[in-house]
């Protein structure tokens, strides 16, 4: 049996691995020149590891991708970097029960209440039932008004912008339930893992056509599908839902400005911005997580955003975006000087963050589509979990299982 897979991201590659192991004839079409999708990296002069265009890590309980990485010969390694929040001009650790108790920007009662609310979410094994409520309506009652207004509302508003009112509580539960302090990465970066997965596929007879977009796809009159004038028994589409079918939800763009600096900018790995009217929502110092020796001894910083389509920041050139962001780096670190910036890169991707509305499970499309032999697997289907490589791999494996049994 022949199968065409559209997209060599982690979903497409995971499906391809399972299908070549089942002795299917697999052909993967990938418009880019490298595998990895949103986790694809780039390699700059003086580096021996590639760097993702958009910050990536895995959690200690991401068993599916951990197992797959070991299978293809690139086991994950783990660190416990600090996650901080910038509030009232100070970087404060806020990633554990103890650090929450010491978070003096809200009252002791509010700290205890927020801690209890988050503990309740951690103890709920399946929070899908929470999808009937909006985060904006439910969360203040769970963690308290003060904790919500000073911590969670600024984060949610910065991330979802005009879509904040749409986000359901099951999405928030999944973020809290899944998170671990221990974070994982791969030697050489996520691109190295994608390369290993691609090599696993081609080493077992599969084909990956890089630089070839699936420009034409039509159903055969008798059976099967034609993709780029080649016939297949089944087709799996792993591109975003808006490209595969009529969209049912909204999406946000991902935007990162990546900076190579001559000195460290901040205390930890991850810095949530809880200040008002900042032009980015998070700063991520990659080299407080991964040894800077892999990046020529320089500090690597991501300044990240999720943005609604049409946001003015998406229209700025890299130079103008850098000019907009630079003054705020001095508020993170008063010692910062613009001369610290040695190189910069700007990346933007549409359809990066699905916005899951109330009762989204009722609208959720299945992997198997109505037309015979056609399957679709994309980040809108990992619900209620948030987008991530572990869920991309799980989804690819589910799709492969359905294809084999169709």
**Among candidate residues 134, 155, 178, the one where a domain is terminated:** 178
Q: Is there a domain that residue 83 lies in? A: no
Where the chain has pLDDT below 70, the residues are 241-247
Contact between residue 111 and residue 147 where contact means Cβ atoms under 8 Å apart: yes
Q: Is the residue at 269 inside a domain? A: yes
Query: Is 89 inside a domain boundary?
Result: no
Residues 107, 11 share a domain: no
> What are the tens digits of pLDDT across the range 47-97?
999 999 999 999 999 999 999 999 999 999 999 999 999 999 999 998 888
| Domain edge (last residue) among 127, 158, 178 | 178
CA 249 – CA 243 distance, rounded (Å):
12
Give the pLDDT confidence of 306-318 residue by residue, as tens digits: 999 999 999 999 9
Query: What is the Cα–Cα distance from 59 to 221, expressed in whole angstroms?
Result: 46
Q: How far apart are CA 83 and CA 94, in angstroms?
A: 6
Is 193 part of any domain?
Answer: yes
Are 140 and 192 in a shared domain?
no
Boundary of a domain, candidates 144, 178, 212: 178
Q: Are residues 287 and 310 in the same domain?
A: yes
Residues 156 and 278 in one domain: no
Whether 82 maps to a domain, the answer reads no
Residues 169 and 197 in one domain: no
Statement to judge: residues 105 and 134 lie in one domain = yes
Q: How many CB atoms lie within 10 A of CB 315?
A: 9
pLDDT in the model for residue 343: 98
User: 54 lies in a domain?
Assistant: yes
Please write down the HEC assignment for all residues of the chain. CEEEEECCCHHHHHHHHHHHHCCCEEEEEECCCCCCHHHCEECCCCCCCCEECCCCCEECCCHHHHHHHHHHCCCEEEECCCEEEEECCEEEECCCHHHHHCCCCCCHHHHHHHHHHHHHHHHCCCCHHHHHCEHHHHHHHHHCHHHHHHHHHHHHHHHHHHHHHHCEHHHHHHHHHHCCCCEEEECCCHHHHHHHHHHHHHCCCCEEEECCCCCCEEECCCCCEEECCEEECEEEECCCHHHHCCCCCEEEEEEEEEEEECCCCCCCCEEEECCCCCCCCEEEEHHHCCCHHHHCCCEEEEEEEEECCCCHHHHCCHHHHHHHHHHHHHHHCCCCCHHHEEEEEEEEEEEEEEECCCCHHHCCCCCECCCCCEEECCHHHCCCCCCCHHHHHHHHHHHHHHHHCC
The answer to whether residues 165 and 231 belong to one domain is no
Q: Could you list the residue range(s) of the whole structural domain that residue 292 is in?
A: 250-355
Residue 214 maps to a domain: yes
**Structural contact between residues 270 and 84, judged by C-beta atoms closer than 8 angstroms:** yes
Domain count, the chain: 3
pLDDT for position 240:
77
Q: Are residues 265 and 392 in the same domain?
A: no
Q: Which two tokens stand for residue 30?
A: 């990938």
Could you tell me if residue 206 is inside a domain? yes
User: Is the Cβ–Cβ distance between 131 and 170 less than 8 Å?
Assistant: yes
Q: Which tokens hold the place of 76?
A: 């994950």
Task: Decide if 258 contacts 345 (C-beta within 8 A).
Answer: yes
Cα separation, 399 vs 401, whole angstroms: 5
**Which CATH number covers residue 6?**
3.50.50.60
**Hunting for tokens 């001369």 — which residue is that?**
339
pLDDT for 241 equals 59
Same domain, 254 and 351: yes
Verify that 280 and 339 share a domain, yes or no: yes
Are 41 and 104 part of one and the same domain? no
Q: Are residues 213 and 285 in the same domain?
A: no
* CA nearest to 394, candidates 159, 174, 163, 66: 66
């Amino acid at each position: 049996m022949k199968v065409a897979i559209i997209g060599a991201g982690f979903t497409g590659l995971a499906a391809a691995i399972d299908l070549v192991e089942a002795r299917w004839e697999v052909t993967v079409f990938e418009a880019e020149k490298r595998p990895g999708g949103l986790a694809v990296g780039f390699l700059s002069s003086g580096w021996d590891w590639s760097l993702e265009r958009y910050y990536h890590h895995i959690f200690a309980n991401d068993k599916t991708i951990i197992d797959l990485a070991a299978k293809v010969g690139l086991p994950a390694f783990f660190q416990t970097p600090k996650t901080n929040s910038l509030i009232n001009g100070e970087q404060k650790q806020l990633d554990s029960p103890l650090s929450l108790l010491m978070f003096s920007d809200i009252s002791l009662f509010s700290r205890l209440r927020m801690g209890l609310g988050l503990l309740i979410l951690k103890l709920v094994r399946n929070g899908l039932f929470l999808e009937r409520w909006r985060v904006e309506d439910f969360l203040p009652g769970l963690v308290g008004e003060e904790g919500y207004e000073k911590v969670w509302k600024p984060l949610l508003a910065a991330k979802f912008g005009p879509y904040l009112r749409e986000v359901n509580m099951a999405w928030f539960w999944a973020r809290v339930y899944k998170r671990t302090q221990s974070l994982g990465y791969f030697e050489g970066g996520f691109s190295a893992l994608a390369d290993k997965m691609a090599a696993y596929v081609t080493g077992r007879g599969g084909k990956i056509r890089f630089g070839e977009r699936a420009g034409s796809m039509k159903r055969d009159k008798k059976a099967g599908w034609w993709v780029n004038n080649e016939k297949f028994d089944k087709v799996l589409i792993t591109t975003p839902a808006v490209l595969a079918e009529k969209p049912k939800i909204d999406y946000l763009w991902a935007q990162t400005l990546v900076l190579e600096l001559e000195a460290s900018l901040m205390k930890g790995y991850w810095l949530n911005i809880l200040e008002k009217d900042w032009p980015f929502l998070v700063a991520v110092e990659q080299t407080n997580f991964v040894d800077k020796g892999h990046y020529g001894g320089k500090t690597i910083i991501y300044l990240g955003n999720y943005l609604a389509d049409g946001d003015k920041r998406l229209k700025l050139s890299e130079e103008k975006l850098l000019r907009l962001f630079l003054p705020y780096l001095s508020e993170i670190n008063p010692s910062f000087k613009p001369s610290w910036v040695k190189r910069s890169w700007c990346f933007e991707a549409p359809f990066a963050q699905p916005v899951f509305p109330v009762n989204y499970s009722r609208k959720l499309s299945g992997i198997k589509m109505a037309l015979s032999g056609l399957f679709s697997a994309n980040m809108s289907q990992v619900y209620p979990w948030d987008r991530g490589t572990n869920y991309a791999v799980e989804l690819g494996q589910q799709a492969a299982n359905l294809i084999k049994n169709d």
